[in-house]
Chains A and B, each alone.
Chain A
């Protein structure tokens, strides 16, 4: 049996913080299922790439698991109906995302019957597929990385197969406080998870897999350990790592497990690793072996502002309001609603936002003690000590204030994972992460502007070229006509002039 192996020391990981876990309140009970809501709101953009294209019309009856919107453009993923009912609208709806407050959503009024779509084909054992067609199939299931980055899994795996690979790393390191959905999923769905792991190893032709779990999740470790013993697959090893934030970041995890550093601007595949979230593996198993696309996920609903914190399985598209009322509603002190964890999450102003594929946590906090005012940076260097990427946040802060794009780039702003460690330790209470986020957006804006100008320049130049050619063609045609007319002699010219005169008489306006 691959029992919990040696614990790593953190010698190879820079910075990080030990944060209060705050997970006990939501891990006391098993995962509950949220009943079918009256209304489902499915954003067409639940992944990193371009929005999916809706293929259903308003008024259409859709069944559970039916394709609602198909992948379109780069890094896109399809969206499926999470229950049966009638499409009542396709309209902008409040959502939780980084830019903008509303996004187009498909709204379904559920009939509560959960009628399933007829499966196009019987599910077959995964090893009857060719690895390539298996990846294609994963793409069609709408499966995206459930750890929060929502990168379409099929495309991530396809990209990975172009590189020499060594390890598959299953990320069970849920390092952000309050969140416990992966912990509970590992406890309760260990068999499905391992099934997903086997599919992934088959598709990527890999023979080494690490399932990495933090030391503060003994129940998950023993559940996975038992399932592994039963499965008796020597290729899969269980690893235990100490609890430190943000060791669950993809690049941090690779470094922790293999002691290889992912290069700046690179991917784990550059050092031979593919990282997948444990929930994604379970979702892959359900899609490939049971034919259920990604239409639900486990999410943690917790915080002092929720009456009974717990983990729930919610259909994608269920509104946060429905889930909170399922969890006993708000407490009297509830004040702030955050989608995601306290470090990387996003604060939202309304609970009508839906649960999307990325929603790993719904956090309700009480009124926080008013934040101390921002003070000038005293250059203490605490932020550089805790930065897991070994950046110099204090330096980046100056450059962000000065809008110095070049220096921001050369100091590695684009490598910042926005983990929030620097904010937390800053004695001057400078909102560093927010500043970096804005600076990143500004750099992106400038790059977009530049690309736009370049396109306009090309269009302008090719238009001038076209006009020039047209002019030349016209001139040579005229010259030809003139030559012909001269050849034909004065009588012909006379005739042409007469014809023109006649035309002018008929149509004096021109």
Chain B
């Protein structure tokens, strides 16, 4: 009787050991594709490309969250909803936003004052400003993400933000 008990224990222990070794090796040799996780995080971000998080765009921020352990509460345009979703995806704690959430808005160029310097056009991360050198510029409102990156470079301060109704 004892022999059969010991055989059973040995067999089970052997299987456990083999499976453990196999899994351990697999996790060393084949790490999960970080790009996939970055894409998932990027999908949850609002794609405003505003850089308010301190990274130059949404995908860089996603990369920082995944690889450098950056905080998940740095996205004001995404608001608390985005923090909640990121927390759920990554298994982290949902912390309150570092800065107050921003209201959805689009940039508007006061066209009579525009001098056509192209600074705002070059600053726009989504190519939503059109206009040639020394010609009036205008914002393509449907494409504007409201990132406010065009406001600072304007030498005549003719860009303002209008809330989206």
- Which residues on A are within 8 Å of B, measured CB to CB? 449, 452-457, 459-464
Mask of B54-78 contacts with A, CB within 8 angstroms, 1/0: 0001110000000000000000000
- A310 → chain B closest CB, angstroms: 40
A460 touches B49 (CB 8 A): yes
B127 touches A454 (CB 8 A): no
A460 touches B126 (CB 8 A): yes
Mask of B25-51 contacts with A, CB within 8 angstroms, 1/0: 000000000000000001001111100
What is the CA–CA distance of A461 and B57 in the complex, to the nearest angstrom? 10
Known contacts A453-B46, A453-B47, A454-B47; A460 and B57 CB within 8 A of each other? yes
A456 touches B127 (CB 8 A): no
Instruction: Output the nearest chain A residue to B49 by Cβ-Cβ distance.
Output: A460
B58 touches A459 (CB 8 A): no
Determine which of A449, A452, A453, A463 lies in contact with B125 in the assembled complex, contact meaning CB atoms within 8 Å. A463
- Which residues on B are within 8 Å of A, measured CB to CB? 42, 45-49, 57-59, 125-128, 143, 145
- A417 → chain B closest CB, angstroms: 29
What is the CA–CA distance of A449 and B77 in the complex, to the nearest angstrom? 12
**14 extra interface residue pairs, beta carbon distance < 8 Å, beyond A452-B47, A455-B143, A457-B47:** A449-B46, A453-B45, A453-B46, A456-B145, A459-B126, A459-B143, A460-B49, A460-B59, A460-B125, A460-B126, A461-B59, A462-B127, A463-B125, A464-B57
Q: With a CB–CB cut-off of 8 A, which chain A residues contact B59?
A: 457, 460-461
What is the CA–CA distance of A283 and B45 in the complex, to the nearest angstrom? 50
What is the CA–CA distance of A459 and B128 in the complex, to the nearest angstrom? 9
Instruction: Output the nearest chain A residue to B144 by Cβ-Cβ distance.
Output: A456
- B133 → chain A closest CB, angstroms: 16
Instruction: Output the nearest chain B residue to A461 by Cβ-Cβ distance.
Output: B59
What is the CA–CA distance of A461 and B59 in the complex, to the nearest angstrom? 9
Q: With a CB–CB cut-off of 8 A, which chain A residues contact B143?
A: 455-456, 459
Of the A-B pairs whose beta carbons lie under 8 Å apart in the complex, a sample of 22, sorted by A's number, is A453-B45, A453-B46, A453-B47, A454-B47, A455-B143, A456-B47, A456-B49, A456-B143, A456-B145, A457-B42, A457-B47, A457-B58, A457-B59, A459-B127, A459-B143, A460-B57, A460-B58, A460-B59, A461-B59, A462-B127, A463-B125, A464-B57
Q: With a CB–CB cut-off of 8 A, which chain A residues contact B126?
A: 456, 459-460, 463
What is the CA–CA distance of A335 and B49 in the complex, to the nearest angstrom? 51
Q: With a CB–CB cut-off of 8 A, which chain B residues contact A464?
A: 57
B127 touches A463 (CB 8 A): yes
**B45, B58, B126, B127: most-surrounded residue (chain A CB, <10 A):** B126
What is the CA–CA distance of A381 and B161 in the complex, to the nearest angstrom? 49
Q: With a CB–CB cut-off of 8 A, which chain B residues contact A457?
A: 42, 47, 58-59
- B104 → chain A closest CB, angstroms: 9
What is the CA–CA distance of A461 and B125 in the complex, to the nearest angstrom? 9
Q: With a CB–CB cut-off of 8 A, which chain A residues contact B45?
A: 453
Q: With a CB–CB cut-off of 8 A, which chain B residues contact A454?
A: 47
- A73 → chain B closest CB, angstroms: 14
Instruction: Output the nearest chain A residue to B147 by Cβ-Cβ distance.
Output: A456
What is the CA–CA distance of A407 and B134 in the complex, to the nearest angstrom? 54
Instruction: Output the nearest chain A residue to B128 by Cβ-Cβ distance.
Output: A459
Q: With a CB–CB cut-off of 8 A, which chain B residues contact A463?
A: 125-127
What is the CA–CA distance of A452 and B46 in the complex, to the nearest angstrom? 9
What is the CA–CA distance of A94 and B58 in the complex, to the nearest angstrom? 41
Q: With a CB–CB cut-off of 8 A, which chain A residues contact B58?
A: 457, 460
What is the CA–CA distance of A452 and B58 in the complex, to the nearest angstrom? 14
What is the CA–CA distance of A462 and B57 in the complex, to the nearest angstrom? 13
Q: With a CB–CB cut-off of 8 A, which chain B residues contact A456?
A: 47-49, 126, 143, 145
Instruction: Output the nearest chain B residue to A446 by Cβ-Cβ distance.
Output: B81
- B163 → chain A closest CB, angstroms: 15
What is the CA–CA distance of A21 and B126 in the complex, to the nearest angstrom? 57
- B62 → chain A closest CB, angstroms: 11
**B48, B128, B145: most-surrounded residue (chain A CB, <10 A):** B145
- B11 → chain A closest CB, angstroms: 45
- A288 → chain B closest CB, angstroms: 39
- A375 → chain B closest CB, angstroms: 31
What is the CA–CA distance of A453 and B58 in the complex, to the nearest angstrom? 10
Instruction: Output the nearest chain B residue to A455 by Cβ-Cβ distance.
Output: B143
Instruction: Output the nearest chain A residue to B44 by Cβ-Cβ distance.
Output: A453
What is the CA–CA distance of A462 and B128 in the complex, to the nearest angstrom? 12
Q: With a CB–CB cut-off of 8 A, which chain B residues contact A453?
A: 45-47
Q: With a CB–CB cut-off of 8 A, which chain B residues contact A462?
A: 127
Q: With a CB–CB cut-off of 8 A, which chain A residues contact B57?
A: 460, 464
What is the CA–CA distance of A453 and B48 in the complex, to the nearest angstrom? 7
What is the CA–CA distance of A463 and B49 in the complex, to the nearest angstrom? 12
What is the CA–CA distance of A455 and B144 in the complex, to the nearest angstrom? 10
What is the CA–CA distance of A454 and B126 in the complex, to the nearest angstrom? 11
